[in-house]
Amino acid sequence: MARTFGSYLLQVVDLEPASFWVPAFAVALLVAAFGVNVAGNRAMQVTQRAMAAVKIVGLGVFAVAGLWFVSAAEFTSGAAGEYSASPEGFLAAVALAILAYKGFTTITNSGGELVDPHHNTGRAIVIALAICTVVYLAIAAAVAGNLSVAEIVAAEDYSLAEAARPAFGEGGVTFTVALAIVATASGVTASVFAASRMLAMLTHMAQVPHRHFGMPGTVRTHTTVYTVIFAVALAATLDLRRIAALGAIYYLIMDIAIHWGLLRHLRDRVEHRRAIVVGAIVLDVLVLGAFVWVKASVDPLGLWVAAAGIVLVVLGERLFMASHARPDGTMDM
């Protein structure tokens, strides 16, 4: 998401080479997101509310105007030829699309910051997913109806800006770029907030190791520092496609692992509907399998990087458990 911010910002700031400035802007955004997060919950709340309002209104305007200018011919422009669809390609695209909806985990990770979390967490998730579904479908239809598949592929990271051109001209491109900048900045800030809060919670539960390294402040501040440093490393070294692929693979594997753990170890402690959980696992496996199959033909190195990351995480977890667990396998939490 930080690199998407950099890609859109380069549409209004004419700097070369893009290979340097995209990661540079991505790193700058992450540093700014760190500043907002450590400024406190009040600053975070005000910032996110303002950017959320801009995103919803702006994307709504874009979707309505874009749908007004759609061309029915564009919806079938990819039905044949170089960009013809396939079942495995569709499922692989679903794996990436899941990342667009994963923001609802920010709500659960921030449960400790909510008023009446037992009531408001589920309510917030349903409302957020409903709004996102309507907005995303409208935007997807507007883009697909204004650009051919070849034009979407050529525009790549800034296809929204190109889709605005028929309706608004050059001014629409500027408007969409500005909107995308706000949206990505908001998303990065919220993701840093959620990931650092989750890491802080796991630290307090003694589920992950923690070192202060002489830094002042609370554990929450420290986990925010670690989160941003890790994100900066990814944004500076990997391109947007590979980051998205890693995110999709890790997210789906994590989802499968959590659901399996619920069925295997927590079935008597956590109330759930078994059919829904099993169905989620089946769908995750199906989408993940298709994504890996397609990715293997275009970027096998990305899969090796993903595999190496999984191995490191598993080995680290095993080492931590071996050094911190009691003889009976339990831990202090």
Whichever domain contains 83, its CATH number is 1.20.1740.10
- Percent of the chain, pLDDT > 70? 87
- Phi-psi region for residue 104, left (φ > 0), alpha (ψ -120 to 50) or beta? alpha
Most confidently predicted of 68-77, 105-114, 204-213: 204-213
Average of per-residue pLDDT across 235-261: 84
Q: What are 11-42's pLDDT values in tens digits?
A: 777 788 878 888 888 888 888 888 888 887 77
Q: Between 261 and 177, whose confidence is greater? A: 261
Q: How confident is the model at residue 278 (pLDDT cuts 50, 70, 90)?
A: very high
* Residue 132 pLDDT > 60: yes
- Count CA within 13 A, CB hemisphere, residue 321: 9
Asked which of 209, 237, 265 is the last residue of a domain, the reply is 237
Q: What are 133-177's pLDDT values in tens digits?
A: 888 888 888 887 777 777 777 776 667 777 777 767 777 677 777
Indicate whether 233 and 244 sit together in one domain: no
Q: What is the 3-state secondary structure (H, E, C) of the chain?
A: CHHHHHHHHCCCCCCCCHHHHHHHHHHHHHHHHHHHHHCCHHHHHHHHHHHHHHHHHHHHHHHHHHHHCCCHHHHHCCCCHHHCCCHHHHHHHHHHHHHHHCCHHHHHHCHHHCCCHHHHHHHHHHHHHHHHHHHHHHHHHHHHHHCCHHHHHHHHHHHHHHHHHHHHCHHHHHHHHHHHHHHHHHHHHHHHHHHHHHHHHHHHCCCCCCCCCCCCCCHHHHHHHHHHHHHHHHHHHCCHHHHHHHHHHHHHHHHHHHHHHHHHHCCCCCCCCHHHHHHHHHHHHHHHHHHHHHHHHHCHHHHHHHHHHHHHHHHHHHHHHHHHCCCCCCCCC
* Residue 329 pLDDT > 70: no
Asked which of 179, 205, 237 is the last residue of a domain, the reply is 237
Mean pLDDT of the chain: 79
Indicate whether 221 and 293 sit together in one domain: no
Q: Is position 321 within any domain?
A: yes
Alpha-carbon distance of 33 to 40, in angstroms, equals 12
Indicate whether 68 and 126 sit together in one domain: yes
Indicate whether 110 and 46 sit together in one domain: yes
Q: Full-prediction pTM beyond 0.85?
A: no
> Residue 113: what pLDDT?
67
> Residue 305: what pLDDT?
87
> Residue 75: what pLDDT?
57
Q: Is position 246 within any domain?
A: yes
Indicate whether 148 and 250 sit together in one domain: no
Q: How confident is the model at residue 299 (pLDDT cuts 50, 70, 90)?
A: confident
